[in-house]
Chains A and B, each alone.
Chain A
Amino acid sequence: MTARNREALALVPSALLLTAGLAAIFLRRDEFLSNESLVYGGVFLGLCLAAHLVIRWSAPNADPYIFPLVAVLACLGLVELYRIDESFAQAQARWFVIGLVMFAVTLASVRDLRWLQDNKYTIALASLVVLLLPRVPGIGQSTNGAYLSISVGPMSVQAAEFAKIGIVVFLAGYLRDTRQVLIHGGRRILGLSLPPLRHLGPLLVIWGTAMLMLIFIRDLGSSLMFFGAFLALLYVATGRLSYPLAGIGAFAAGAWFVGSRVGHVQDRVAAWRDPLDPELFNATGGSYQLAQSLFAQADGGLFGRGFGQAELGTMVDGDLVTTPLLPASQTDMIYALIVNETGLLGGAAILLAYLLIVQRGFRIASLARDPFHKLLATGLSAVFALQVFVIVGGVTKVIPLTGVTLPFMSYGGSSLMANFILLALLLRVSETARRPA
């Protein structure tokens, strides 16, 4: 079976899951099964096959497993969003279609990644501007004390989602050119051989930017995501463990400093350390959300309560649907909701799917021959993995909870579009690497 036929076949399970998931929810709601879920499943399969045809045409040798894995995650996300509120699923379905179009356009238009490498400084500058825009009065918006989104007319754009791709492109291009100097460093200080100041400078600037992000955007999550991807790239580019180790130390020191001084970050850390403290639990912006997330996951048990059976307590507040028992269940908490409904078994499957995507991503990097492609695939996979870690880690109380989306599942157009662009770039690298000579 050729790679592309394998991919087409692998899209069938996602359509099946969508059909079955919706059927389970209809059953709970209306006590009957209808062919409506079959129609939705069919439409979903049709859309995925259309995207598959674009891949077949423009990247015939690319990795065949990543896209079906993404389709499975997206369909489970749609099912859960439908379960929270039908309007979420409808909006998300529209974003999914737009995301697929962006994916197709990126895949078809970015045929040669050299263009990205040549424009890395422009891309880096644009990304930084986008990252800082949410802080500009008038267009910026603050959500729970963090400055994460830009509002353009009726739409709101999550800055970090798009900036992460630009930053990774820049770092891959930059490290591709300077890695040799970083390996054969100059002076040795305290057993650590430091690169010449001229090259250490930009690295320090990147560290400084991550710290500034913490202070200005007040978001530990995206800052961790960016800096983590940077360290992963630095390690792959130089093969020296001392860089990431020193980087982790520097980040920890900076995070501790900021965490103990910036109010918003401080609150998050306090809520994380003791979410069940009655005082924090009842405080506004306290640990209520995190504690409820933990309860929901524990309540799910091994096998879960079943689709459509999580207690959310839907409350319609004007146009905005809120779920008082699990706040932000459509975005931050979607993982907790899935664990409540499908149990540890379902949650583990989701994580496994993410793990497989990341494994395929690193596999693409290991197959790539051009160093820039190698670094780009590594960086994109790393930033994707870290995003999943930051939000799932936050929801499960491994790290302080921050508002990062769960890629391809959370409600939100920016996240879907940005991650589809990321996926298109990965497949482009894969196509270049696997194309027979």
Chain B
Amino acid sequence: MADVHALPLGDLVEPVSVALKFGIVGVLYLFLVWVARSSVTDLARVPMGATAPGVAEGTGLSGGGTGEPRLRVERAVGHNPGDEYDVGPGAVIGRGGQVDIRIDDPYASGRHARLVRQGMVVIVEDLSSTNGTFLNEEPLVGAQPLQIGDRIRIGDTEFTYLDD
């Protein structure tokens, strides 16, 4: 280095060395305590969308969003892909007349499946349809809580669940 300003210490090497060691460990701990304290404050704050209803039910994960639960059309006869339907307190999907989201799919039953809002979660259940409902390409058994991004398929009709 071009201009090194050196400070010779002579007899002071030992004490300065010890002071540096404790100084370093001290600064390290002060920093860690500060991070830990901020971290605890951060934990106490109620975060957005952090309420995880699924955890209480033992399902571990949950997509409990804060916004409006809705279904986005991926593909469906007579609907435009990208259209969104609000779920509201609940919605019935089917081919018949008395449904909230009407789909013109040969595999769909009159009243095929139902979405119901329960507290913070929206659950989906099959209404004993003939051909069944598929959640993420798995046959739906019983009522299942929905997470953001879940795909609901009935015959050739597919929706994505959104909640943000």
Contact = CB atoms under 8 A, between A and B. Distances in A.
A16 B143 CA distance: 57
Interface in B69-105: none
Contact of A31 (B10, B49, B136): B10
Contacts of A367: 47-50
B109 interface: no
Contact of B35 (A32, A307, A356, A433): A356
A370 B149 contact: yes
A13 B27 contact: yes
Interface in A1-16: 6, 10, 13, 16
Contacts of A343: 25
Interface string B41-65: 0110001111010110011111111
A254 B82 CA distance: 49
Contact of B144 (A27, A35, A178, A180): A180
Contact of B31 (A10, A35, A181): A10
Nearest to B16: A27
A48 to B, nearest CB: 14
A143 B118 CA distance: 57
Interface in B127-146: 135-138, 141-142, 144
B5 A235 contact: no
A437 B164 contact: yes
A44 to B, nearest CB: 14
A20 interface: yes
A68 B28 CA distance: 12
Contacts of A36: 1, 4
Interface stretch (A154-162, A221-229, A258-266, A346-354): A346-354
Contacts of A352: 32, 36
Contacts of A311: none
A437 B16 contact: no
Contacts of B155: none
Contacts of A372: 149
Contacts of A342: 21, 24-25
Interface string B1-34: 1001111111001001110111111011111101
Given A32-B8, A307-B24, A27 B13 contact: yes
Contacts of A239: 54-55, 58-61
A400 interface: no
A202 to B, nearest CB: 14
Q: Is the interface of B mostly helix, strand, loop or mixed?
A: mixed
Nearest to A346: B25
B116 interface: no
Contact of A69 (B10, B24, B35, B141): B35
B50 A10 contact: no
A383 B13 CA distance: 43
B27 A20 contact: yes
Contacts of A307: 17, 20-21, 24
Contact of A177 (B20, B24, B47, B136): B136
Nearest to B64: A369
Contact of B63 (A34, A240, A371): A371
Contacts of A366: 47, 50, 52
Contacts of B138: 178, 180-181
Contacts of A42: none
Nearest to B38: A65
A303 B21 contact: yes
Contact of B135 (A21, A180, A356): A180
A39 B3 CA distance: 11
A285 B151 CA distance: 54
A16 B20 CA distance: 11
A237 B60 CA distance: 6
A333 interface: no
A227 B61 CA distance: 20
B105 to A, nearest CB: 23
16 contacts: A13-B27, A13-B31, A24-B24, A28-B17, A32-B9, A33-B7, A180-B135, A180-B138, A235-B60, A237-B61, A309-B17, A353-B32, A369-B164, A371-B62, A371-B148, A433-B49
- Among all A-B residue pairs, the 6 with the closest Cβ atoms: A239-B60, A24-B20, A13-B31, A33-B7, A32-B8, A369-B49
